[in-house]
Structures are given as structure tokens and as C-alpha cells.
Structure 1
Amino acid sequence: MLTLFISQILDCTDGDLARLTGRVTRSGAYLDRVFDRFVDAAIVIGIVYLYPSELWLAGFMAVVGSFGVSITRAMAEAEGAECKVGIGGRDTRLAIIMVGLLYGYASGNAVSVYAATLWIVAVLGFITTLHRMLHTLKQLD
């Protein structure tokens, strides 16, 4: 949990520092987005690793939903559309995961809380993916 928290602080700080110092680059933005996907997957895989037989499906769906959010935005922007809509963006998903991890650890019922957390992330991911697809298709037509 502490590692996740520190990771997110550093992730936010590097972009802000680049903007403040005038060192924003397209390659830096690209690398940041790509590495964010690896971090997202690693977080979910780490949670599933704690109780693999109980959490594998929820974890799989959370990763797929999360990647759907990212790819719909990337593909929309590749087609010249703007696509920053949806309730399940990365910050929201990470906040839900952090709260779920803390609550699960404190509650003594970690498996159930972690499963619920991953399912919430998955559902929000799929809702946001669909929202972004519809939003983009309206712009492209």
C-alpha cells in the first residue's frame, strides 16, 4: 500500500515538474502513458496474488476494463477526437483501489473487500469504455 501511494505521488510530481520547468516533451508524455498501463496491471496482479483462487476473475476483468478506458482514449485521439469523458478514469480507479486495500486490511475480511474493489474497478472501466466509445463515435460521424 505504501509503495502504491509513493508511486502515485511520484507519477503526479514528474509531470508537474516537467511543466513547471518547461521540459514537457512528447516522448515523456508517451512514456508516462505507457508505463502507467504497466503500473495499473501490476497493482491488480499484486492484489490477485494475495488470494489467486478467489480473485483471478475479478482481477482479470479489472485489468481488461482499465485497459479499455486507456485504449478508447488513445484510439479516439489518434482519429483526432477528444475523449476525456467518463467516471472511471485512472485517478478514480486508483483511489478506489487504495481505499479498498486500506479497508480490506483493517476489516479482517480482506478477500471479500478486495474482490468487491476489483469488481467495482472492472465495472467502472467497462462503463467508461462504453461512454468513451459512444462519445468518440458522435464526434467522428
Structure 2
Amino acid sequence: MIDTKLRKYVQPVFNQVGKGFVRLKMTPNMITVMAFIIGVSAGVFIAFGHIVIPIVLLWTSGLLDVVDGTVARLTNKHSKIGAYLDLIFDRMVEAAIILGFYFLFKEYALAYLLFFISVIFNFTTFLVAASLFKNEGEKSVHYDIGIAERTETFIVFTLMMVFSQHVFIILMVFNVIIFLTGILRFIRTIRYASKLNKQVQLHEA
């Protein structure tokens, strides 16, 4: 939700950063891969008990994750492959962070398991919505707004690193929010699909 509501206010900053990458002749896909590698590296540092380094790496990865799309717009190099890589790599970075916490605090395995279940459910509803709803935005696919988006996830991960003694409760609360996001999107998508079915039936009649 933060991404959607505040993006227009900070986009000028991303545009300037994006122009720097354009001057360096960096393609959107190259930046996407960089964001992936740096994000996964944050998970490795978490596993070894570091705090500051993974926070810096995580947010650097997040910045690059925004900049790749900005560079794509600035250079008119939108691609389905880029959108595909972006969606998959984002989930893999999240998995790496949680895996890092697992190696550090194995006693919270239930919270990690529920996180993966909630993400699978939420991401599935996102993909189905993307396939059904008409894309009227700037992204390569329809982007259905949710309560828990990328920035919220990074904030939660940061809180888990800073307040490591409360990892379980922080992640469990976030799991509920992710589930709620998926449930609301599921209901919204079902209603939209039902509306499409009625339109088809009326057309055939």
C-alpha cells in the first residue's frame, strides 16, 4: 500500500537515479539481476547474525528493484521477460531473508512456514488478478493493490533484524496481514470473474 500511495512523491528521486544507470548503459534486466543478488546476500548475512549489513543490502536491493522499472520507462525497454524476472526474483529475495532467519533462529520455524504459505496464497491471487483485470497502469501487467506490498515487507524484515528478540511476534502479525491481503484480493477477483461470466452469457444469449 505504501508503494502505491507514496510512489508519486518519491518517483522524481528514482528518475534521477535511473538516469545515472542509463548513462552507465545499464539495462533494466541487468539492474533486476543486481537487485536479486544483493537481496539474496542480505539473507546470507542474516544467517551469520549480522544486523547493519543486511539492512543496507536489503534496502539497496529494494531501491534497485524500483530503479529497474524506472530505467525501462526512461529507455522505452519494457519487456515481458523483465516483468517475469522481477516477479520471480522478488519472491526469491524474500525467501532468502526468511531462510537466513531460520538458520539464525530455528525455534521460530512455525512463523517462517506460515510466511511461505501466506506468500504462496497471496502471490497466486495476485497472478490470477493480473491475468483477469485489464492493465491500465504503467507496469507490464495489471498490478492489484494490496495491504502488504514490497515496502511493507522490507519494513517488517528490518524490524525483525533490529528487534530480533521479537522476530516471532513481528512475523506472525505480518503473516496475518499477508493472508488478509490475499483474502481481499481473492474476493475482489471472484466478483470480477463472475461479472465477466455474466457479460459473456448475455452476449451469447
Which TM-score band (shorter chain)? Answer: 0.7 to 0.9
| Counterpart amino acid of residue 128 in structure 1 | T
Following TM superposition, the consecutive aligned residue runs of length 4 or more in structure 1 with deviations greater than 3 angstroms are 79-83
Residue in 2 aligned with 1:2?
56
Residue in 1 aligned with 2:151?
91
Distance 2:92 2:118 in 1: 14
Which structure 2 segments of 5+ residues have no match?
1-54, 135-141, 195-205
Q: How does 1:32-111 map to 2 (within 5 A)?
A: 32-52=86-106, 54-80=107-133, 84-102=144-162, 104=163, 110-111=164-165
Superposed CA RMSD in Å reads 1.7
Say if 2:108 and 2:168, in contact at 8 Å, map to a contact too: yes
For each residue in 1:36-84, what CA deviation from the matched residue of structure 2 results, as whole angstroms up to 9, or x when unmatched? 11111111111122110x2111011112212322111101222346661
SS of 1:32 mapped into structure 2: helix
For each residue in 1:12-59, what CA deviation from the matched residue of structure 2 results, as whole angstroms up to 9, or x when unmatched? 11111111111111111111111111111111111122110x211101
Which structure 1 segments of 5+ residues have no match?
105-109
> In the alignment, does 2:102 pair up with 1:28?
no
Greater C-alpha radius of gyration: 2
| Counterpart amino acid of residue 51 in structure 1 | F
Q: How does 1:116-131 map to 2 (within 5 A)?
A: 116-131=169-184
Taking CA–CA contacts closer than 8 Å with sequence separation of 6 or more, which of the two structures ends up with the larger relative contact order? Answer: 1
Say if 1:44 and 1:59, in contact at 8 Å, map to a contact too: yes
SS of 1:23 mapped into structure 2: coil
Structure 1 length as normaliser, TM-score?
Answer: 0.84
| Counterpart amino acid of residue 25 in structure 1 | S
For each residue in 1:102-125, what CA deviation from the matched residue of structure 2 results, as whole angstroms up to 9, or x when unmatched? 2x1xxxxx23x1112211221111
Shift of 1:94: 1.9
Say if 1:65 and 1:125, in contact at 8 Å, map to a contact too: yes
- Percentage of identical aligned residues: 29
Distance 2:71 2:132 in 1: 29
Distance 1:56 1:8 in 2: 25
**Please, which of 128, 132, 136 is the counterpart of residue 189 of structure 2?**
136
